[in-house]
Amino acid sequence: MLKGKTALVTGGGTGIGKAIALLLAKSGVNIALNFSRSEEDALKTCQEIKNLGVRSSIYKADVSQDAEVRTMVSQVAADFGTLDILVNNAGMTHFVDHSDLDGMKDEYWDDIFGVNVKGMFFCCRAASAELKKSRGCIINITSIAGLTGLGSSIAYSASKAAATSVTKSLARVLAPEVRVNAVAPGIVQTRWVEGKEDHITRLAAGTPLGRIASPDDIAEVVYSLIAHAGFVTGQTVVVDGGNFI
């Protein structure tokens, strides 16, 4: 069903993005991997994807910069001849305790919203024409922080709430050709939480399934929305082991 299609995965070299890219590649999807800083990781993931028998290339772009995004999408379409799937996985945060209001600096707000909201929108806008031609789909990786108001910082939580709203808006605007959905993970075992074992243990204990997510847990839900949910759009699927019920 997906064999021969092309997916662009932002922030695709590590963590959740890597897991999504590899799972799609196993179904025969050619993968364009975006990175902004981690070129070595992107190259390693790209080779893993090629070893699965599909095409893959890496593209450096800061998604918070519209011109870079437009150039990237144009290059992907030229290189692969099509763009069928966009996964907006790139994200960033600054860790600031919610009670530290003065610590939530202006530049932190700009950094976080620049990637998590504007960057997501820039990618959707730039890819929309190609996705309409291929009747493709978009998956935005948000977070339960956008639903609970809890997370690494107030600005991060707000950015993910905004991303959920943008998902709904774009689902209307790009229909009927393009479906747009979001996946909202809880805490996931990635390098973002390295060194925070006490925090992980506490959160896992409060989750009905008794553990935090792996990147593969998130990738499986993303895959299902791409491959098996042709009548689903504008939705946010929470993947947190039942923590947010």
pLDDT for res 171 = 98
Alpha-carbon distance of 31 to 72, in angstroms, equals: 13
Helix H or strand E encompassing 23: helix 15-26
Mean pLDDT computed over 96-105? 96
Average pLDDT over residues 97-104: 96
Report the C-alpha gap between 104 and 4 in whole angstroms. 45
Catalytic residue set:
156
Query: Average pLDDT of 56-77?
Result: 98
Residue 63 carries which side chain, given as an amino acid letter?
A: V
Give residue 199's pLDDT: 55
pLDDT exceeds 90 at position 112? yes
The pLDDT value given to residue 203: 61
Encode pLDDT of 129-155 as tens digits: 999 999 999 999 999 999 999 888 999
C-alpha distances out from residue 134 to 117, 129, 221, 222, 229, Å: 25, 9, 22, 19, 16
| 100, pLDDT greater than 80 | yes
Task: Please determine, looking at this structure, whether the domain spanning 6-239 carries the CATH number 3.40.50.720.
Answer: yes
213 — pLDDT class (breaks 50, 70, 90) = confident
